[in-house]
Every structure is written in C-alpha cells, then in structure tokens.
C-alpha cells in the first residue's frame, strides 16, 4: 500500500479533506431542487462505497509498505473490522441528521454548528483513543472553534428573528448531529495498525487505512437501510417520502449528482485516514473538519443564505470566520 511519511504532504492531504468535506453538500443543494434529500442520500451512500473500493484496489494494493488490501482484509481481527464498520454506522446516523439540518437551516448554519461541534468532540475522543498530538494546543484550537460555533448560532438567531421563524429546530438537529459525528472517527482510528518507521511493516491483526475506509463505507451503506428508511417514513420536516420515488422521479443526472457527492466526501475521508499515519489521527481529523469554514463560505457567499439578514449579522459572521482560522491554525501547529 502507499504510505504517507512526510508531514507537509500529510497536512496538504488534510487540506484536500477540508475542501472535500466542506464542498460535497453542494451536490445535495443542487439535487434538492428536484427531489427530497432522503432520495439523494441513497446515491450518496453508494458513491461513498464505490470510492473506497477504487482506492483499496489502487493505492491500497500498490507500493512497498504495509499490506495489500486483500491480504490485509484476510489477516484482520474481527474486533477491528467491527470497529471500522461501527464507525460507518455511527457516522451515517450523524450525517443523515446533518443533511436534514442543511435542508432546514442551510449550509451556513448546519456546518459551523454541527460539523464544528463534531470537530471539537472528535479531536478530544480521537486524542484519547490514540494519544497522538500536543494536548494543550489541541485544546486551545478546539476552544477557538467553539467560539466560532457560538457566533454562527447567534448570527442564525438574528436571521431567523428577522424572518419571523424559529431558529431552534435547525440548531438543535445540527447539535445532535455534531454530538454523534464527534465519535465516529475514533472507532476508525482505533482499528488501524501502526506502521513501523524502519521496516514499513503494519501492525498484525489491525487494518491498513485503505481497509479501514472500506469497512467504514460498508457500515455506512448497510446502516442506510435503517437510518434513511426511518427518515423517509418519519421525516423531520415535510411529508413522508415514498420509496418508489427513488425509481420513478429520479434520472441519470440526479443519481449522478448523489454518487458524485458521496465520492467527493469519501475522497476527503480517505485522505484524512491516510494522512493520519504522518500527521496523527487527532490533528488529521481536526484539520479536515475545517470543512465547517468551507461549508459556511459556500452558504454565505454562493448560496446567499444570509441575504437580507438584519444589521450586525455580518460582523458576527466575520468574527466566526476569524475564530475558525485561529482554531485551525493552532490545530496545524499542534503536531508534537
């Protein structure tokens, strides 16, 4: 398998993760103009699995380090296969709630609140699981991000008050999504074996990054038959979504948009996992979750979700971006 050993390259890969994780939801925004997000999400889950298999049989099966994908899968302990799979199940529930929050409140709210909270919790849980990184600096970076989350919630409250709608539902769903999403990465990180720097051998029984991402993706797709089915029958907003609509109202373009969204997101996930061997899992996850800022930029400047907001809202949004930049900069510098 291909191993990343350079810290600068690992950080660059985390930046790609940040861009992918912050941009994939644009495919949902495009698709939701023509059909419900629950239908989009089936294709998204398929795209996630397809990308993981593509990487497993290319980057995960070439190179001189570690083990090839099939050999790694054959020797893996069931405990660690289950851990990576559970990461996918946990993430999928959180992500479906996040998608619902985007549908209700928009990118500029759901990402900073939901994914920002996931960033904070995920850095903490991943550090506890792996003990990699500078704890005080990771904590300081997380604190700055928490300030940014609070500022974004205040900006959304002003916007909602101006439009005579309640901000509670969008924010509450985003918070629940963030709390759940903060746990998934630690399950995946725990499943991966350490690579010996001298011999490039991978810890026996555990998984390579490429195998871990396949099991994670399988957990996401399989659990979709539970979580997304519930969301279709008992949606958080709007009427129930008939299952037949996936086949009767969709077309090749809509299905393609959904699959593309899943592949974009999982490119970010794969780069984060692979980069964690050099950057450390806590930093890799935390920097990748700078997607919160990217998602907010899309929501504010491209989709104009705060258009018509009352005076003072732009100052809150500006401060939010500032604190995100400060927090992410500290996370980058936290590698010990």
- Report yes or no on 18 lying in a domain: yes
Domain tally for the chain? 1
DSSP character at residue 304: -
- Report yes or no on 154 lying in a domain: yes
Q: Region of 36 please: left (phi>0), alpha (psi -120 to 50) or beta.
A: beta
Q: Which residues pair with 316 in a beta bridge?
A: none
- Report yes or no on 117 lying in a domain: yes
- Report yes or no on 1 lying in a domain: no
Mean per-residue pLDDT over the chain, rounded: 88
Structure tokens at 143: 């604190």
Residue 303's pLDDT band (boundaries 50, 70, 90)?
A: confident
203 by Cβ neighbours in 10 Å (0-12 / 13-18 / 19+) ranks as middle
Say how far apart CA 180 and CA 125 lie, in whole Å: 12
Each residue of 18-75: pLDDT tens digit?
Answer: 899 989 989 998 998 899 999 999 999 999 999 999 999 999 999 888 899 999 999 9
What is the SS3 assignment for 195? strand
What is the SS3 assignment for 199? coil
- Give this prediction's pTM: 0.84
* Position 168 pLDDT exceeds 90: no
What is the SS3 assignment for 308? coil
Say how far apart CA 85 and CA 218 lie, in whole Å: 7
- Report yes or no on 2 lying in a domain: no
Give how far Cα 219 sits from Cα of 21, 45, 63, 78, 320, Å: 19, 10, 27, 14, 34
- Report yes or no on 122 lying in a domain: yes
Determine the pLDDT at residue 166. 46
User: Residue 289 belongs to what domain range?
Assistant: 7-332
DSSP 123-134: HHHHHHHH--S-
- Report yes or no on 65 lying in a domain: yes
- Report yes or no on 274 lying in a domain: yes
Specify which of 113-122, 134-143, 290-299 reaches the highest per-range mean pLDDT: 134-143
């Amino acid at each position: 398998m291909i191993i990343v050993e350079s810290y600068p390259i690992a950080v660059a890969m985390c930046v790609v993760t940040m861009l992918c994780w912050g941009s994939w939801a644009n495919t949902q925004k495009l698709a939701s103009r023509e059909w419900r997000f629950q239908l989009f999400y089936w294709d998204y889950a398929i795209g996630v699995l397809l990308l993981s298999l593509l990487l497993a049989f290319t980057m995960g099966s070439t190179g001189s380090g570690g083990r090839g994908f099939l050999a790694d899968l054959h020797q893996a302990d069931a405990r660690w296969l289950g851990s990576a799979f559970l990461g996918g199940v946990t993430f999928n529930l959180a992500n479906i709630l996040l998608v619902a929050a985007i549908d209700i409140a928009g990118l500029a709210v759901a990402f900073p609140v939901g994914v920002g909270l996931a960033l904070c919790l995920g850095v903490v849980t991943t550090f506890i699981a792996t003990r990699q990184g500078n704890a005080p600096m990771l904590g300081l970076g997380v604190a700055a991000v928490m300030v940014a989350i609070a500022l974004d919630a205040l900006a959304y409250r002003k916007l909602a008050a101006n439009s005579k709608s309640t901000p509670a539902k969008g924010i509450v769903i985003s918070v629940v999504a963030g709390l759940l999403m903060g746990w998934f990465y630690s399950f995946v990180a725990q499943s991966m074996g350490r690579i010996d720097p001298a011999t490039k051998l991978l810890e026996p029984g555990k998984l390579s990054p490429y195998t871990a991402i396949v099991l994670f993706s399988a957990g996401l797709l399989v659990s979709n038959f539970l979580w997304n089915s519930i969301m279709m029958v008992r949606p958080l907003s709007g009427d129930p979504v008939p299952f037949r609509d996936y086949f009767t109202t969709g077309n090749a373009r809509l299905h393609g948009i959904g699959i593309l969204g899943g592949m974009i997101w999982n490119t970010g996930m794969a780069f984060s996992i692979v980069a964690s061997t050099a950057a450390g899992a806590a930093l890799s996850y935390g920097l990748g979750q700078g997607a919160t800022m990217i998602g907010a930029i899309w929501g504010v400047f491209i989709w104009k979700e705060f258009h018509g907001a009352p005076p003072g809202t732009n100052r809150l949004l500006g401060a939010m971006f500032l604190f995100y930049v400060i927090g992410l900069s500290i996370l980058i510098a936290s590698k010990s």
